[in-house]
A and B are shown apart, each in its own frame.
Chain A
Amino acid sequence: MIQREVYRKVIFDTIKRGSTVISKDVKRIFEESIKKETSVAAKEGLQKTLQSIEMSVEKNNPACPDTGWPIFYFKVGNNCNLEGGFMGLEEAARESVREATRLGLLRATMKHPLTGHDPGDNIGVNIPDFTYKFVPGEDIEITFVAKGGGSECFGGTRHRMIAFADGTIGIKKFITDCYIASTRAGAVCPPSILGVGIGGTANVAANLAKEAACLRAVGSKHPDPMIHKIEAEIYESLNNLGIGTMGSGGDVSVFAVNIEYAYTHIAGIAVATSTNCMVARRATNKIKNSGEIELLESPNWFEGR
């Protein structure tokens, strides 16, 4: 059995790392893009952003102050046994978010949607958000994502029902147009990680898009060659648009295009997009049934799909 005090500490550490440190794949794409970028301003923008991110590790402060929506993904072994059960896990997550907010590791961003009431600790109705995936085994992998407001609000997250008759062409047009609209004047803080969900009900497509944007490592490929071909094609096309760092013009316009799909009713193909900030923040820790803790570089969320 995994003890409460163990998972409570791991959740807090996951939030802290998620907010203050970027993962290796994100750092790598920054470095590659800095080399590649020919616009002086866009190159400088990337360099300064990376420099600031690296200072956050030392200063122990958020890599970006908009720590956004606190979101948890739990990849849970079917035989995982937690002291206090899953309600205990969620309560520990709320406690950890509260503590991280008090310490300035998260900004008190969550408010009542109508009154604007500020609880001051990021805890409210349906927030934080929890998603579970069940896999064989007895371990649990805990991922924290700080989903920034820019990437979520400004056209970064959209969906449309596309007729089967419009097929791949309709899907590619929708994705391209969404990305252009969302990057205007740097709204979603490009170069972003673009996640796409195709199929399922609208909410399934939207969830797949968000998970593709936030949980797939930059540089990863969808294992189905047909899907990866579309990823590669859109990636190349978007990077020829000239959007650049913060939408101010440049060669690198998108860090990655990650597509996931679900089988669907072909009356209407739900297509959803979700972007993640260039300062893409996520962290994953694994707790084994023995209580042993392992830091993971990637959530491996879609492993086995």
Chain B
Amino acid sequence: MSIYYLNSPLKNEDIENINIGDSVYISGPVFTCRSRLHKYIFDEGNKLPFSTKNRNSLIHVGPIVIKENGKWKLVSFMPTSSIRFEKWGEKSVKEWNLKLIVGKTTMGKKTADAMKKFKCIHVSPQSVSPNLWIDTITIEDVYLFNELGTIEAAWQMKLDKLGPFVVDIDSKGNNLFDALDKKIEENKIEAYKKMGIPQDFEYTKLY
């Protein structure tokens, strides 16, 4: 397990040697996106109102941001579950040329395949610690605020060593949680035994 300090915008060579289970900290310009923005762009035919060329890192997050003395103030920040955006995962990696996605949980096979093809990684938090993160985040700008509302808008942020996050999908398309799933399934056999649940138990079909 290695620790990487990444600087966005990222190049292929910055992420190619990173493996699942490694830890990363992120610096530089990034943007945020949740369900409504994905839909607005990929289903409703709109364009992202800024270039991702120098901002090719995406965070799946709906931050709490309030306006204080005419300035945006980040109150709280915790990545949201990426698996919800699986439908748009491949398109987002390809069309936005993403090299890094930060989000809770993970993404599916289709996105992992796209990450392998276009070189991108997904990283996931191992704690719920917004207060250890917010001081490393500066809000730069916001787009589509009036159209999508505060948490679904596209926030542009600048990071200063935000992390650590664990790499759950690497640019080879491996998924950290696949191995963990197998282990849990194995442990389940013992749990069933202890609780007296036969391995071949089938529910009576009621419908």
In the bound assembly, the distance between CA atoms of A186 and B83 in angstroms comes to: 11
B157 → chain A, closest Cβ, in Å?
Answer: 14
In the bound assembly, the distance between CA atoms of A242 and B183 in angstroms comes to: 8
Number of interface residues of A (CB under 8 A): 68
| CB nearest to A169 among chain B residues | B197
* Contact residues in B for A52 (Cβ distance below 8 Å): 127-132
A185 in contact with B177 given A49-B127, A241-B191 (CB within 8 Å): yes
Beta-carbon contact of A247 and B149 below 8 Å: no
Beta-carbon contact of A116 and B204 below 8 Å: no
Given contacts A62-B76, A150-B81, 18 further A-B contacts (CB under 8 A): A41-B166, A52-B127, A52-B131, A52-B132, A64-B76, A103-B66, A104-B73, A108-B149, A108-B150, A116-B36, A120-B150, A162-B203, A165-B204, A187-B104, A189-B104, A237-B194, A246-B126, A249-B180
| B-contacting 9-mer, from A139-147, A170-178, A215-223, A255-263 | A170-178
9 inter-chain pairs at a CB distance below 8 angstroms, sorted by A residue, are A44-B127, A52-B128, A107-B76, A108-B151, A162-B203, A185-B83, A233-B195, A242-B187, A248-B180
Within 8 A of A (CB), among B171-207: 176-177, 180-181, 183-184, 187-188, 190-192, 194-198, 201, 203-204, 206-207
Beta-carbon contact of B151 and A173 below 8 Å: no
Beta-carbon contact of B204 and A166 below 8 Å: yes
In the bound assembly, the distance between CA atoms of A226 and B77 in angstroms comes to: 43
B170 interface residue per 8 A CB criterion: no
In the bound assembly, the distance between CA atoms of A173 and B205 in angstroms comes to: 15
Number of interface residues of B (CB under 8 A): 55
Beta-carbon contact of A64 and B180 below 8 Å: no
A242 in contact with B184 given A52-B130, A61-B75, A185-B168 (CB within 8 Å): yes
* Contact residues in A for B132 (Cβ distance below 8 Å): 48, 51-52, 55
| CB nearest to B191 among chain A residues | A237
B63 interface residue per 8 A CB criterion: yes
Most chain A CB neighbours (cut-off 10 Å) among B81, B168, B201: B81
A45 in contact with B188 given A107-B76, A248-B180 (CB within 8 Å): no
A-B contact count (CB 8 A): 189
B148 → chain A, closest Cβ, in Å?
Answer: 7
Within 8 A of A (CB), among B33-77: 35-36, 39, 62-64, 66, 73, 75-77
| CB nearest to B181 among chain A residues | A184
B29 interface residue per 8 A CB criterion: no
A272 interface residue per 8 A CB criterion: no
Most chain A CB neighbours (cut-off 10 Å) among B73, B148, B206: B206
B80 interface residue per 8 A CB criterion: yes
A209 interface residue per 8 A CB criterion: no
Within 8 A of A (CB), among B128-174: 128-132, 148-152, 166, 168
Which A residues have a C-beta under 8 Å from some C-beta of B? 41-42, 44-49, 51-52, 55-56, 59, 61-62, 64-66, 102-104, 107-109, 111, 116, 118, 120, 149-150, 153-154, 160-163, 165-166, 169-170, 172-174, 176, 180, 184-187, 189, 233-234, 236-238, 240-243, 245-249, 268, 277-279
* Contact residues in B for A108 (Cβ distance below 8 Å): 149-151
Beta-carbon contact of B177 and A246 below 8 Å: no
Beta-carbon contact of B206 and A170 below 8 Å: no
Most chain B CB neighbours (cut-off 10 Å) among A162, A233, A237: A237
Beta-carbon contact of B203 and A166 below 8 Å: yes
B72 → chain A, closest Cβ, in Å?
Answer: 11
Beta-carbon contact of B206 and A65 below 8 Å: no
In the bound assembly, the distance between CA atoms of A180 and B206 in angstroms comes to: 23
